[in-house]
Structure 1
Amino acid sequence: MKNILKYYKVVILLLLAFSFNACDEFLDRPTEDTYTIDSFYKTDEQCFQAANVLYNAPWYDFQRGFLWIGDVLAGNMYLGTDNGYQNFNLTSSNEDLTNAANSLWLVNGHCNAVIENIRTKAGPAVSEETKNTVVGEAMVWKSLAYFYLVRIWGAIPIVHSNSAIIGEGTATELKKNTVDDVYEYIVKTLEYAVTLLPEQNKPGRLNKTAAYGLLAKVYLTRSGWGQSGSRNQAHLDKAKEYAAMVVNESGLTLEPEYSNLFRISTGNNNPENLISWRWIASDQWTSQNSLQSDLALNGFTGLNDSWGTWRGPTIDLQFAFDEDARNDERNNRDARRKATLMMRGDFYPYFWRHVGGFTATWDDEDNVAGATFGIGTGANCVKHIVGHFEGDHKAEAGVPARTMATDLATHILRLADVYLIYAEAILGNNESTSDPEALMVFNAVRKRSIAAHENVSSITFEDIFKERRLELALECDNWYDFVRLHYYKPQLAKQWLNNQERGSYNNIMGYYEEEVDKADVTIESFKVNITDDLKFTLPFPEVDLAMNPNLRSDVEPVPFDFSTLEY
């Protein structure tokens, strides 16, 4: 595998990529030419610096794949009906898919290097607590990378040690390991990380609670693998156990204002956000969040670095929020809708605040940003967007944004996610549940954003599945809910995807500009027709297939030798 080999060599040769710039004080790193690998790891601070890169740079090239896989495949985002992610016609030559694979293997390589170097290079002045914490952090990030890899590609090689693979020269001969063994590897790694991580870490860094939350999600996903019609009860019980630790023992509560989670000043270090990529708008490429450029309206940032006018939430997602772009008035029943989907008439005090805020309008005089509207679904994205490079970014972060670069953290696991994992694990294989713990967390998530919500007395799987979509929409997670469902109920997963409206409106722009009547605005319907199971695993990049024929779909995966692990 060329990508695995290339990135593992990069990790070793660049000595943990010290040249990447910092993201906040706790992500400071020394310059590349200041130290050799043998002169580093001599203090607690240096050991933490070695792990800082794991919070951003190696994840950078996953950002677009993160969006397209997580939300376009899931039917939440519109890129055009000819787009391979929207119409399920992806090939091994897709650039963003290739970059996603590169990035995830790079994360694994960095994590392995940190773990190996802490264990072999840490000096006598380094405390055991620091060594444990840093290794624990690396193990959680490594587990997260494998969690994405197995849900995207299915059976994949497990590479436990960089140095072993490079020393043996076997990178192009690696065999895929079974999906079950990949999940077992993730679980073992996370459960060991839990024994190393502190209850509380420095702000923004990983701790036991984050690892418990990820374990709950992994076990819930794994519970359906290899099953038919129902899920593995033992794995559901473990998901419930770990989620309960987060819900009942962490002391964390939901952020009262949903939109605060996605602002730099109120969201980057919000305790509800358990695992986040942490970025900085710097002149060092890969240190920054670039998602705003892909999603914000053209002209929205003041830097001419955004091209999201023709990308945005689908009609189907709008319908899920009980909204319709053809209506003149918004119902605004659910606060998550406005914090996720920008629709005609929406006012945002936190965008373009230096001129009094931003209203989504097609009137040139009222459009303070001079932004271009044009998407045929009638909605644009809000999450991942900071706004004007000075008026908003500087107000939030203290410094202006740069071209294709913001400080906004990307949230991977939130407390609300774990709440819904807990509810689903309690529900298990039942048709419905009235369990008070499940109802408590489900109602809490809804009540946070729906003021008129009246507590329900029973919930079903479909209730939880839909609530996850509304809560986590455009956070690049919903596709993996379909993968999880497909593991044990493939026909239902296909049915729900095939029923989605992935098309656009005819004449919606003309209607907004008062050139056509509302009656002339019709849906140009587009629906997918998923008929085979391979649609739930994506193709390996062609460069990897060329370098390692063991990745081909006709090559059976092999068991992993767990006796090689030290935990």
Structure 2
Amino acid sequence: MRQYIRIILTVFLAIQLTSCGEEFLDFVPEDQPTVDGWYNDADEIRQATAALYGRPWFEFNDVLSWCVGDLMAGDMFHNWDEEGQFFYASFNENNTHIANGWQSLYDVVSFANLIIDDMPGIAGSNGVSDADINAGLGEARFFRAAAYYYLVEYWGEVPIIESPAEKVANQDLFLPKNTLGSVYEFIRRDLVFAAENLPEADAGGRVTEWAAKGMLAKLHVTLGQRAAGGNSVGSLEDFTTAAGYAADVINNSGLVLFPDYESMFLIENEQNPEILFALRFINAGWGFGNAKQARFARNSIITGDPQAWGGGKSMSVDFINTLQANAESAEDARRRAIYMQNGDFYDYINVVNGGYTYQIIGRDENGTEIENQAPTLTNLKKHVVGNVEDHGFIVSNQDSPFDVYMLRLADVYLIYAEALMGQDGSLSSGPGYDAYLAVRSRAGLATPSDNEMSFRDLFNERRIEFGLEAMAWLDIKRQYYRDPQGTLDLLNAQSRSDQYFRIDVNDNMENDPDGYELVRAGESGTANPANQNTEPQVTFTANRMSLPIPGNEVVMNPLLRPQAEPVEYEFE
């Protein structure tokens, strides 16, 4: 069985790595050796760990990450089919995207485990140095920790898997859920090892010591918020630990905020000095690229191919209102990088035709409607990079080469502010407040008029800064740990279902926002009572704050049933 697992890994690596366009992933094994004949030097270790940056994450990134991270959080308006179940908080254990995302994250864990289990012994017998072996282990353990962070934040109590071949050999096939405390500790140990063994600097796109410390800051601030809410998991000391890790990254990594927010989301700038950790997708067919352009783009005019399924996707009115309030009447430079609204012009999209101008309704030269009105008169922009004439890549099968940013320096800045705030309700001075102001300044925003950052201000800032980066639900979870009822009230008061309707379809105002009226969920229009918004006001309860373990997994392993008690993990 162990040799069988090794062969699977070898075939996967050969397919993954020989398809890569990223420089650090380029690798063509001459004879596709088995794992036992591999790991002869540091380069072969790095060629193996390179597989962890892309393909295993595909199904998670494809749908679940944004359905939970953006849609369920209330930032996006989208109500179609099983994806729409996250908008309505009506999902159950049979949702296809929950199953696919769960499997994808455990694929990351599995591939990391195979490297962790096999590589040290083989590489050591081949004379590879301990430093190179530990650097490879650090990379694999970093990715295992990252996958488990999403597993615990999305699902809660989940099984910890180590040494899978040994478990298969012992017929130990039905693993129980482990306690929250166990999972967080497992993540912490992996990240500490990574921080101690990854290099300070590496080839573009590789995770480093600073990526591990940034993730440790996020882990500890999460535990701090749990403790602030009275949870038995975590400690208030975690705020101090988080602040220490964040300060180390900010002061010593040499990384900086990229000066132009919108340009940061162009393919040409994906390896910029703000990125600590990114999924490195490539333009090599389905399963290897970033599918979000296909999922988010409004029309094939933008993409140059039929895969443009975002015509009915908008930012929610609630998100738009938060952006405007957070800007305090100023123009937030991030807005047009997150979503398109009437009159926006993008000179780097559809360049062969002179650029792309967003209109509420788009028509061709014959007057035929080719771009429909979206629910909130906006469409999604982030992750939408255009067509081959715009960037040189033929994107035709959900394989945009644009990387997915998982951890940016701006995130560490705001984690630093959150950690230094701790249990308090606000900050008005000091390094945490300065970090918050630095993020706002990059967006063209001034110091807040009240000269302070409240708890709500901080999370509103995070909501905008990371709009459509699948982080909003993670932020909501930290708020929930600290104040469960207050967070449920916040979610239930969102204007996520409000949408716009034409007042008079016979006027000439189809591309004038004044020709539309906003109708709240379940209500009728005032300018035109015939406008009926039949969308419900979505209600969240405590049991909607975590995803159910996929039904097929529970059928195969009864220890994963909701009523099954989790167990403490036995650490070696």
Indicate how the Cα distance of structure 1 residues 152 and 368 shifts in structure 2: closer, same or farther if over 3 A, else same. Answer: farther
2:546 pairs with 1:545 = no
Question: Quick check: 1:387 aligned with 2:386?
Answer: yes
Q: CA deviation at 1:170?
A: 1.9
How far apart in 2 are the matches of 1:547 and 1:368?
A: 56
Q: 1:328 maps to what in 2? A: none
Q: Which of 9, 12, 29 lines up with 1:14 in the alignment?
A: 9
Q: CA deviation at 1:492?
A: 1.1
Q: Secondary structure at the match of 1:522?
A: strand
What amino acid sits opposite 1:540 in the alignment? I
Partner residue of 2:490?
Answer: 496
| 1:112 corresponds to | 113
- Partners of 2:4 and 2:570 in 1: how far apart? 24
Higher mean displacement: 34-43 or 203-212: 34-43
- Give the structure 1 partner of residue 254 of structure 2: 251
Taking structure 1 as reference, are residues 519 and 346 closer, same or farther at Cα in structure 2, changes over 3 Å only?
Answer: closer
Give the letter for the 2:181 counterpart. D
Alignment of 1:393-412 (within 5 A): 393-394=391-392, 399-412=393-406
Task: Confirm or deny that 1:265 pairs with 2:257.
Answer: no
Write out aligned runs for 1:464-543 (5 A): 464-508=458-502, 514=509, 518=514, 521-525=517-521, 526-531=536-541, 533-543=542-552
CA drift at 1:435: 3.6
Match of 2:570 in 1: 561
Aligned-residue identity in percent:
33
* Matched AA of 1:433: L
Q: Residues 47 and 524 of structure 1: is their aligned pair in 2 closer, same or farther, counting only changes over 3 Å?
A: same
Partner secondary structure for residue 194 of structure 2: helix
The match for 2:530 is none
Q: In the superposition, relative to structure 1, how do residues 274 and 234 fare at CA in structure 2: closer, same or farther (>3 Å)? A: same
Work out the CA distance in 2 between the residues paired with 1:465 and 1:332. Answer: 19
The structural deviation recorded for 1:154 is 0.5
Q: Conserved in 1, the CA contact under 8 Å of 2:48 and 2:115?
A: yes
Match of residue 194 from structure 1 = 195
> For 1:203-282, what aligned pairs fall within 5 Å after superposition?
203-225=204-226, 228=229, 232-266=235-269, 268-282=270-284
- Offset from partner CA, 1:378-418 (integer Å, 9 cap, x none): 11111111112x11131xxxx33233211100000000011
CA distance in 2, matches of 1:199, 1:450: 31
C-alpha separation between the residues in 1 aligned to 2:385 and 2:368?
13
Aligned to 2:55, which of 50, 57, 61? 57
1:327 corresponds in structure 2 to none
**Residues 323-357 of structure 1: CA deviation (Å, up to 9, x unaligned):** 9xxxxxxx870011111011111111221123221
Work out whether residues 28 and 52 of structure 1, in 8 Å CA contact, stay in contact via their aligned partners in 2. Answer: no
Partner of 2:533: none
- Which ranges in structure 2 are unaligned for 5 or more consecutive residues? 522-535
Relative distance call for 1:459 and 1:393 in structure 2 (3 A) is same
Q: CA deviation at 1:529?
A: 1.8
Q: Name the aligned partner's letter for residue 417 of structure 1.
A: D
Inter-partner Cα distance in structure 1 for 2:478 and 2:266: 30
The amino acid that maps onto 2:374 is: I
Q: Distance in 1 between matches of 2:289 and 2:559?
A: 35
Alignment of 1:415-434 (within 5 A): 415-434=409-428
For residues 50-80 of structure 1, the C-alpha deviation after alignment (integer angstroms, 9 at most, x for no partner) is: 0111000000010110010100110001112
C-alpha spacing 1:131/1:232, structure 2 compared with 1 (3 Å)? same
Letter in 2 for 1:236: F
Report the 3-state secondary structure (helix = DSSP H, G, I; strand = E; otherwise coil) of the residue aligned with 2:205: coil
Distance 1:468 1:32 in 2: 47
Does the C-alpha gap of structure 1 residues 451 and 480 become closer, same or farther in structure 2, counting only changes over 3 Å?
A: closer
Q: Within 2, Cα distance between the matches of 1:369 and 1:156?
A: 52
Cα offset, 1:458, TM superposition: 2.3
Structure 1 unaligned runs (5+)?
A: 324-330
Q: What are the within-5 Å matches in structure 2 for residues 56-205 of structure 1?
A: 56-63=54-61, 64-80=63-79, 83-122=84-123, 123-171=125-173, 173-205=174-206
Stretch moving more, 343-352 or 58-67:
343-352
Check conservation: 2:261, 2:443, Cα contact below 8 A: yes
Q: Deviations over 1:503-540 (max 9, x none)?
A: 24242496796269947623242432223x21111111
Give the 3-state SS of the residue equivalent to 2:490 in structure 1: helix
Number of corresponding residues: 544
TM-score, with length taken from structure 2: 0.89
